[in-house]
Structure 1
Amino acid sequence: MAAEDSSVSGVSGRYATALFELARDEKSVDAVKADLDRFEAMLADSADLKRLVRSPVFSSDAQAKALTAVLQQAGIGGIAANFLKVLTANRRLFAVADVIRAFRALVARFKGEATADVTVAEPLSDRNLDALKTVLKSVTGKDVALKVKVDPSIIGGLVVKLGSRMVDSSLRTKLNSIKHAMKEAS
């Protein structure tokens, strides 16, 4: 399964595949995904947790003790917690973000979903998000999960990346193309 998708290759792909197969066999794919999403959000919000995960200075035991406390505090247990502890014991916790990304790709394929990265100038309303999902579903024939990032520098419009396809309808890109056209005309 991992060999079919370049996003699930290497060390992170092997770990993600093992985790996915275990979660699938235990019929807990959604619960594991939710726990990993929560851990990833904590990782994004905490500089101390990032340092714990990435720094080779911490011993495996120190990482394990700290990680156990963090997981208990967050209410993350079961397969996801055990998996994160295995990553720690094997000194692979630094790769957790890649493993989570690969796990998500496996879950999406399993559920027949696609994921689109969407960049917008300001947050979209629920109605606009639903409309975007509907349009993308009509294009792909699959349910599309959106990863929305707000970037005010695009000024307006949006940038959508879906697999190898990208549509850039941002105002910044349009203004840049007008600027280049004017320079060439001079």
Structure 2
Amino acid sequence: MMQTTVSGEIIEPYAEALLSLAQSQQLEERFNQDVGMILDLLENSEDLGQFLANPLIKAEAKKAVLRQIAVNEVHGYFLNFLLLLVDRRRIAFLGAICQQYRALLRKLRNIVLAEVITTVELTEAQRQGVIEKVKSMTGANEVELATKLDSSLIGGVIVKVGSQVLDASLRGQLRRLSFSLLNAA
């Protein structure tokens, strides 16, 4: 319940405002790149996330760090957005706001995010096959793949699109076979 409240009252409105600004200035793709850079920074630097989320650190110190990190990397409007988040004491939600921006942009462009879990890296031909399968399943214009490796699958692939799961892994096939054998007995 708490996550829903935070999402509804903080994350979504800020992400929507960022998308609205991007649309009004025709900067959707530029902001998408800026969002990606920020998400990469937050993922690779736990210290940065903790620093920005710490309420004991003064806003000016946070702004100085953001300016130093982002001034030559992101669009000026996006930097102003980051500074606004500091002023409004919402910078702790930066990662979630960035992820929500990407989700809104995907929805606007009819792009589907598909999580693909395999035991080995996919070849380009396999990637294209997965993309075509997901397009036919969803009717999306484009598909973004987020690939993860999982050695416990034994072989095959699992594709997750929203709440749909296509389990073509060996582990999944063995589980289904075991289930059908138990039900047959």
Same fold by TM (over 0.5)? Answer: yes
Distance across 1 between alignment mates of 2:117 and 2:55: 33
RMSD: 2.3
User: 5 Å matches for 1:89-100?
Assistant: 89-100=87-98
For structure 1, which runs of at least 5 residues remain unmatched after alignment?
1-7
1:132 aligns with 2:127: no
1:166 aligns with 2:165: yes
Question: Structure 1 residues 9 and 156, CA, compared in 2 at 3 Å: closer, same or farther?
Answer: farther
Q: How far off its partner does 1:160 sit?
A: 1.4
User: 5 Å matches for 1:32-181?
Assistant: 32-72=31-71, 75-142=73-140, 143-176=142-175
Q: How far off its partner does 1:137 sit?
A: 0.7
* Contact 2:30–2:75 under 8 Å retained in 1: no
Question: Structure 1 residues 79 and 172, CA, compared in 2 at 3 Å: closer, same or farther?
Answer: farther
Distance across 2 between alignment mates of 1:43 and 1:72: 16
Q: Secondary structure at the match of 1:156?
A: coil
CA deviations over 1:41-78 (Å, ceiling 9, x no partner): 111111221222333332222211111111136x1232
For structure 2, which runs of at least 5 residues remain unmatched after alignment?
1-6
The TM-score with structure 1 as length reference comes to 0.83
Q: In terms of mean alpha carbon deviation, does 110-119 or 55-64 score higher? A: 55-64
Q: How far off its partner does 1:167 sit?
A: 1.7
> Percent of aligned positions with the same letter in both sequences?
28
The TM-score with structure 2 as length reference comes to 0.84
The answer for the alignment partner of 1:4 in structure 2 is: none
The answer for the alignment partner of 2:19 in structure 1 is: 20
Q: How many residues align?
A: 178
